[in-house]
Structure 1
């Protein structure tokens, strides 16, 4: 069975499309767990209409906002009875064959722990389609143009540190095994914007996933989407994520050259981050400890840039 978790906050106008796209799936062995995080619109009124549906096993209404979507994820996972979990974000919708395509992929290889598909991205302001190619240029590369692709340790080494290529939880089906993801799910609760990138690292680092090269999910980008709200906080969290990422590469004894390019890029991508967080040099030195790379990186790039920004901002 699949446990479908629908975390909602103030997405009343999208809920019927979201829930109907779940309940009308061609694959029907699932339960639906609905969580509302103290919405201030008419979400609860709409959710109550679905509360008696045979597939809905839980409708949990918070009296106070939790302050973190990942606290809601954990609450839903704790209630889940299924062998697999789908976190279906409340402002997205899916093709009716999403679950069937995902479960067939996993059934064909019992070693697979998660699977995700292409998503079409829409600008919710003017309803124009942004498109997966514009959002994820990696997927235009030749190795991603087949029917599906293994998400293995090569993906971890070369790609996943560049950006969160698993950009939307609604596109993912994963095994309900807390031993895989519990540590990073707890860590993600302290993140405001990039906790999903950290959470999916739980699976990517194990090298047992698959990407379905088919659009089965539809994702809205709008003013209320968390990633649009605070770029300074995002970049701070990204650097912290990359420090954790480095420790994973160390533990797996994987090459770090591609990772270092991403690390330097993110260090200098956000001026607010540099001005207020000073790159946290001590943590960089503590966690990275790259004897042959750290010294020139620090003295030739990081230190001069930090001084420059401090003197000429």
Structure 2
């Protein structure tokens, strides 16, 4: 029915009353001249009362309201002995250009003044929804993040460390990217490195192993992530779909953020934007930090050293299969991918030099070893072959 404004007459309490009716998108909203009209005066041009139009109107209002709820934003923070930096982090959350609907904090039995600092922020900023939960016992950061994520109700859920500082546009930027592309189930950003005194150590950090141009969006494959995690939890925004799976298929074997990224990559929903949207603080009390990410604690020139990466990847796959029944069907060519690691280990262990050379054309090989690493593999494999001759 086209938008129109018509007039018709109705009788009420023995009086003839002139009513104007505005039709908008098939709904009739009546307005009695000079007085108010109840919902019963919502009519069609025929003048016959139809309650179903009122029901339709209310239903549309509810749909609009539901659409607003889709924009709900949660922040999940796991705290433990963070009194030194947590206030600055919380203030950076409150200063976002896109307001956060709920900040959920689970404290893991801090022995310092962390809880009181949080309570002080709650009392000072009562207009913000800051919820504090204190664990009955210390459960460790992996389970603590699982706990805090289980309490989040938002459609966009940000993981948050207690000692970083968010740039003002972090939430707005990441939510806008995810809203524009519904394929994105988990989005990671890059960051600046700062020290204990807020001095910038490094202005921008590309978390991806290969070059990604500034501000570019990159889809991260499952095959890349099974080798190791490149994207810390503090850089992530996740959807309820991934959070639900994380809750159901949690495994202490994996770091919480690595498991989240793996689940998203299974359905080709793990993305990375190379834009520094927060400041990652390095200090002596980091739960994980960056220490050891580039350090190798084994002999890379030994037989076991050359097998370690493939064995670790195979072990990761087997652990994932135990907790995630969907991984085999979700990941394209999963069996072939797993078979590559089994064959790679056998080729080197048994000195099958020719087969190892041929496997260099396998795209999976490039994911776990550089050109230099593959040459080292062939040298070790040739040594094993010579011993058997």
State whether TM-score is above 0.5.
yes
1:44-59 matched pairs, under 5 angstroms:
44-52=115-123, 53-59=126-132
Question: Secondary structure of the residue that 2:277 maps to in structure 1?
Answer: strand
For the 8 Å contact 2:190–2:275, the answer to whether it is kept is yes
1:13 aligns with 2:84: yes
* Distance (whole Å) between structure 1 residues aligned to residue 167 and residue 341 of structure 2: 46
Cα deviation, 1:155-198, whole Å, max 9, x if unaligned, reads 333x33454221x22211110124443344x20x355xx34223
* Distance (whole Å) between structure 1 residues aligned to residue 247 and residue 105 of structure 2: 21
Which residue does the alignment assign to 1:164? Answer: 229
Question: Secondary structure of the residue that 2:280 maps to in structure 1?
Answer: strand
Count of matched residue pairs: 261
Q: Which runs of 5+ in 2 are unaligned?
A: 1-71, 298-307, 352-376, 382-389
Alpha-carbon distance change, 74 to 125 in structure 1, aligned in 2, over 3 angstroms: same
Which residue does the alignment assign to 1:176? Answer: 240
For the 8 Å contact 1:34–1:56, the answer to whether it is kept is no
Which residue does the alignment assign to 2:316? Answer: 241
Which residue does the alignment assign to 2:277? Answer: 216
Which residue does the alignment assign to 2:331? Answer: 252
The one of 299, 305, 313 equivalent to 2:350 is 299
* Distance (whole Å) between structure 1 residues aligned to residue 234 and residue 103 of structure 2: 14
Structure in which a larger fraction of residues adopt helix:
1
Which residue does the alignment assign to 2:185? Answer: 113
For the 8 Å contact 1:122–1:218, the answer to whether it is kept is yes
1:1-313 matched pairs, under 5 angstroms:
1-52=72-123, 53-66=126-139, 68-124=140-196, 127=199, 129-130=201-202, 132-133=204-205, 136=207, 138=209, 141=211, 144-152=212-220, 155-157=221-223, 159-166=224-231, 168-177=232-241, 178-184=243-249, 186-187=250-251, 189-191=252-254, 194-227=255-288, 240-241=315-316, 243-244=318-319, 248=327, 252-254=331-333, 292-300=343-351
Per the TM alignment, residue 59 of structure 1 is displaced from its structure 2 partner at its CA by: 0.8
Per the TM alignment, residue 209 of structure 1 is displaced from its structure 2 partner at its CA by: 3.3
Cα deviation, 1:136-166, whole Å, max 9, x if unaligned, reads 4635x1xx205322315xx333x33454221
Question: Secondary structure of the residue that 1:7 maps to in structure 2?
Answer: strand
For the 8 Å contact 2:75–2:100, the answer to whether it is kept is no
Question: Secondary structure of the residue that 2:191 maps to in structure 1?
Answer: strand
* Distance (whole Å) between structure 2 residues aligned to residue 202 and residue 225 of structure 1: 26
After alignment, is 118-127 or 202-211 more displaced? 118-127
TM-score of the two chains, using structure 2 as the length reference: 0.57
For the 8 Å contact 1:4–1:33, the answer to whether it is kept is yes
Question: Secondary structure of the residue that 1:225 maps to in structure 2?
Answer: coil
TM-score of the two chains, using structure 1 as the length reference: 0.70
Cα deviation, 1:232-256, whole Å, max 9, x if unaligned, reads 8xx9996643554799578624489
For the 8 Å contact 1:4–1:86, the answer to whether it is kept is yes
Alpha-carbon distance change, 291 to 112 in structure 1, aligned in 2, over 3 angstroms: closer
